[in-house]
Amino acid sequence: MVKEKEFKGLNSEEVEELRKKHGYNELVKTEKPSAIKKFLEVFKEPMFLLLLGTAALYFILGEPKEAAIMLVFVAFVASITFIQEWKTERTVNSLRDLTSPHVNVKRDGEKKLIKSNELVPGDIIFISEGERIPADCEVLEASNFSVDESILTGEPEAVFKVTADEDKSDKSGDYWKKYMLYAGTLSIFGKCTAEVASIGFDTEYGKIGKAISETGDEITPLQKKTRALVKNLAIAGLILCVLVIIFSYLYSGNLIESILSGITLAMAMIPEEFPVVLTVFLSLGAFRLAKKNTLIRRIAAVETLGSATVLCVDKTGTITKNIMEVKYAYIDGRLIEVNKLSSKEFKKLMILSCEKDPYDPMEKAIVKVGEKDIDIKKLYDLDILEKVPFNSQTKRMANIFRKDEKMYVALKGAPATVLPLCSLTEDDEKSILKAMDNMADKGLRVLAFCESYSDELKENIEDYSFTFKGLVGLQDPPKEGVREAIEVCKKAGIRVVMITGDYSKTAEAIGKEIGLKFNNTTITGEDIDSMSEEGLCEKVNHCDIFSRVIPEHKMKIVKALKKNNEIVAMTGDGVNDAPALKSADIGIAMGKRGTEVAKEASHMILMDDNFTTIVESVKDGRRIFDNIRKAMVYILIIHIPIAAIALCSPIFNLPQILLPVHIVLLELIIDPTCSIIFEGEEAEPYIMEQPPRSPEEPLLTWKMTIKAVLQGTVMFLGAFLPFHYLVDYGYNVDFARSFSLMTLVVSNVILVLVDRSNTKSLFSIFREGKSKSSLIINGIALVMIFSVVYIKPLNSIFKTIPLDGKMLSLSILLAIISAAWWEIVKLFNNRIGR
């Protein structure tokens, strides 16, 4: 018993002194940025700075129309990014307190109800069932008091609390103590008196919050690649611009004209579509994912998920249902699956040994087994004479009923404490122990059941003569579709790692059931504590199951994987997962069961808590990045003939083919083409059958660059050579320009149809009829070029002349050849791929 002086509590003077020292029992929340500040933050990205720089360049060159177009792009793209990020921030707009708002406390010798943030260390508090624990406390007295600590430990089983003197498990080295109550956890039933030990950031919950705030946001792989690409393009543009000025001056001797030629080339070379494509693709990708129950909190996370090489998952609630289920039963000497259990008598015993309307997850699972066959209401009509509550030392409980004029005792508990109460032969005992070992190997939690009939109530439960009736094995089973989702991950080269606070055997059993690769080896939190940083980096390469871990261990595992150059995605739902979620390259929080702390620390949130949604999100991430690359290659291809024409006209002493107004026209065709058509393209069939990209792989590979150069060069020759030929043979310059412009635009239309897929043919778009945007955008492009060539008022603006039927047909044929020849290469590549 606890001495009376321990219940005295603090007086007002002591509270004030302690508050000066420790402050209030609360976590300091990060102030949410204003809408204006949030909008301005968008412009920190290099892509937006490039867009603004390009617009400024157009203004300096005296081209306000082009500058205006660029600023429209800036406003459009910035708005999409701002709206999406602001929307997701509002969804997770606050880090809610996990403590109850009020608590009963002993102050000035009286029991008072105060706000939980007013607690100080040393306060005596009184907790009843259903209340949140407001601070870390030491148990002074507990009456059958149990707590759900899954929000911290990740494990669903209720923990029965005892005083420090009664806690025999302290010697085991477990991090979470049975004599301690932890802030943010939930009391399930019973009552408890406790003394506040720590508050605010000093609590276990507070330490996790502090770890989150100290973990900085890292630049994503896509951002790194984008910055490198922008830098390389800027260098290439500068070099080409200088070369044009030098060679043009050497050829013509006219410095002003040479400078203007170099500036014209620079205008043609500036790929303002790159930042547009990157941001629009990721923003629209985030919108598409939101429709599939995936809320993106940071736009760049869309691509990062697609490049993930390791997926770290929390077992409870993520891999498993977080609902205990009875899987096996041992009865009449046989170990059977629970769905084959037919004994109604044993089912009645199971139900009668539990609480009526139980809180405990295991009791809920036990009662559920008998619901189909047993009339529970009728069973509960039995008069209950006495309850022997669960005790953390005896680890068993019993209910005593009046049945058929006798005392009927239904008892269940840990086999080690139940079997000694039963009369068993040596053979029976061996058989039972063997069944227990089999269940343990399957990672099941085993309970033993026995019953007794007596003519009278007895003082102690040990005084009854019990008959052993059977065992049941319980498990928190994997969610439907998890195994299949993990198989898809394996094919995609994504390794799945399970991190749990559960026991090693239970974790291994789940690992085998869901098909993890390294499922025979488990590393515990204790093992991690004894390892060096280098040793852990080596071990994580050959182990997919980590058990008995605490938040600090999860962070160490994620950091070790990242040091091995892995792109790490981590899923989680509890406060205990938050530091690792933020440390990972991409943290994925569960939307339904997930805590606000986990959501706040994550990069994306699964609104349906479905593990298979992660796999679909990975596929979408890969599709988006693949389409970004297609759009990038398209931009390079189409800019090559534009830049080459601007370069070759002064070199060959020809009139300018493309005037600034033509470049604006082409931009109006190119921008919606790359931003709309390629963005909505479906995933290639091989997208989830290839390994993740290497973190070192550039945004555009050499293979893609070579493709762009080959296709762009052919298109350049198709537009430039006829102009050269027609001018040399005396044709009007405007007529030759019309021919070349028509060829360039039509070849662009064909190019889009060719490059929209690496596997589908040019003609499949007409057979499928799915890509309406492609038909619409390309149709508009054709309308624009025909208007420029054949509408007289536009002829004077664009310096063009209508083409006759023969020349028009020749131009279109040349355009088709210039772009469609790549279909032969695709056909050859597809045959090699098959």
What digits encode the pLDDT tens for the residues 203-258? 888 877 666 555 555 555 565 666 666 667 667 767 777 777 777 777 766 665 56
Centre a 10 Å sphere on the Cβ of residue 741 and count the other Cβ atoms it contains: 25
Query: Is the C-alpha dihedral spanning 526, 528, 529, 531 positive or negative?
Result: positive
As its CATH architecture, domain 4-27+97-214 has Distorted Sandwich (2.70)
Task: Name the residue with higher pLDDT: 535 or 60.
Answer: 535
Q: Are 329 and 472 in contact (CB under 8 A)?
A: yes
Cα–Cα dist 199/3, whole Å: 24
- 3-state percent breakdown (helix, strand, coil) of the chain, nearest 5: 55, 15, 30
Name the DSSP class of 591: T
Q: Are 569 and 585 in contact (CB under 8 A)?
A: yes
pLDDT for 94 equals 35
- Please, what's the b/e burial string for 357-384 (b: 16 or more CB within 10 A of its CB; e: otherwise)? eeebbbbbbbbbbbeeebeeeeeeeeee
Q: Please state, in angstroms and as integers, the Cα–Cα distance from residue 709 to each residue in 255, 641, 713, following that order.
A: 30, 10, 6
Across the chain, mean pLDDT equals: 81
Mean of the pLDDT values across residues 380-408?
87
pLDDT for 93 equals 42
The token pair at 444 is 């099941």
For the segment 735-750, what is each residue's pLDDT rounded down to a tens digit? 999 999 999 999 999 9
Q: What angle do CA 277, 279, 285 make, to 5 degrees?
A: 95
Which stretches does DSSP call E strand in 108-209?
110-115, 124-128, 136-148, 159-160, 180-181, 186-198
For the segment 286-326, what is each residue's pLDDT rounded down to a tens digit? 777 877 888 877 766 777 777 889 998 878 777 888 788 99
pLDDT higher than 80, residue 86: no
Residue with tokens 């098959």, as numbered in its chain? 834
Q: How far is CA 730 from the centre of its chain?
A: 64
Q: Please state, in angstroms and as integers, the Cα–Cα distance from residue 72 to each residue in 11, 54, 667, 746, 757, following that order.
A: 66, 12, 13, 26, 30
Q: Are 182 and 136 in contact (CB under 8 A)?
A: yes
Cα–Cα dist 504/121, whole Å: 36
Q: Is 662 helix (H, G, I), strand (E, B) or coil?
A: helix
Classify residue 260 by burial, with Cβ atoms within 10 Å: 0-12, 13-18, 19+: middle
Task: Name the residue with higher pLDDT: 783 or 57.
Answer: 783
pLDDT-based confidence at 446, cuts 50/70/90? very high
Q: Please state, in angstroms and as integers, the Cα–Cα distance from residue 628 to each residue in 276, 633, 676, following that order.
A: 11, 9, 11
- Of the listed ranges 81-95, 525-539, 645-659, the least confidently predicted one is 81-95
Cα–Cα dist 337/328, whole Å: 4
pLDDT higher than 50, residue 30: no
Show Cβ contacts of residue 421 under 8 Å, excluding neighbours closer than 6 positions: 411, 450, 461, 462, 464, 466
Residue with tokens 């195994």, as numbered in its chain? 483
Nearest by Cα to 474 from 314, 319, 321: 321
pLDDT-based confidence at 683, cuts 50/70/90? confident
pLDDT for 257 equals 58
Cα–Cα dist 57/243, whole Å: 20
Cα–Cα dist 290/295, whole Å: 5
Which amino acid would we find at residue 68?
Answer: A
pLDDT-based confidence at 60, cuts 50/70/90? low
Which amino acid would we find at residue 608?
Answer: D
Indicate if 314 belongs to the active site. Answer: yes
Cα–Cα dist 516/509, whole Å: 10
The token pair at 336 is 């059977």
pLDDT for 149 equals 83
Q: Provide the CATH number for the domain formed by 221-293+616-684+693-833 in this structure.
A: 1.20.1110.10
Nearest by Cα to 719 from 662, 790, 776, 783: 662
Nearest by Cα to 397 from 438, 359, 440: 359
What is the rounded end-to-end Cα distance, in angstroms, of the chain? 77
Name the DSSP class of 350: H
pLDDT for 465 equals 92
Q: What angle do CA 585, 588, 591 make, to 5 degrees?
A: 160
Q: Is 136 helix (H, G, I), strand (E, B) or coil?
A: strand
Q: What class is the 325-475 domain?
A: alpha beta
Helix axes 660-672, 64-91, angle to 10 degrees: 20
Cα–Cα dist 207/27, whole Å: 10
pLDDT for 347 equals 93
Q: What percent of the chain has pLDDT over 90?
A: 29
pLDDT for 436 equals 92
Q: Are 349 and 472 in contact (CB under 8 A)?
A: no
pLDDT for 450 equals 96
Show Cβ contacts of residue 299 under 8 Å, excluding neighbours closer than 6 positions: 81, 84, 85, 279, 282, 283, 286
Cα–Cα dist 643/271, whole Å: 11
pLDDT higher than 90, residue 810: yes
Q: Provide the CATH number for the domain formed by 306-321+479-608 in this structure.
A: 3.40.50.1000
Show Cβ contacts of residue 692 under 8 Å, excluding neighbours closer than 6 positions: 306, 307, 308, 309, 492, 493, 494, 567
Mean of the pLDDT values across residues 117-146?
89
Q: Which helix (H) or strand (E) holds 448?
A: strand 445-454
Nearest by Cα to 269 from 73, 57, 60, 78: 57
Per annotation, catalytic residue among 314, 476, 609, 620:
314
Which stretches does DSSP call E strand in 274-421?
294-296, 310-314, 325-331, 334-337, 383-388, 396-403, 406-413
Q: Which helix (H) or strand (E) holds 416?
A: helix 415-418
Q: How far is CA 511 from the centre of its chain?
A: 21
Q: Is 179 helix (H, G, I), strand (E, B) or coil?
A: coil
- Of the listed ranges 187-201, 235-249, 797-811, the least confidently predicted one is 235-249
Strand 495-499, strand 545-547: pairing? parallel
Q: In the chain, where are the structural domains located?
A: 4-27+97-214, 35-91, 221-293+616-684+693-833, 306-321+479-608, 325-475
pLDDT-based confidence at 357, cuts 50/70/90? confident
Q: What DSSP assignment string belongs to 531-542?
A: S-HHHHHHHTTS
The half-sphere exposure of 352 on its side-chain side, counting CA atoms within 13 A, is: 30
**Helices and strands in the chain: count of H runs, count of E runs:** 31, 22
Task: Name the residue with higher pLDDT: 775 or 399.
Answer: 399
- Of the listed ranges 123-137, 154-168, 410-424, the least confidently predicted one is 154-168
Q: How many residues appear in the chain?
A: 834
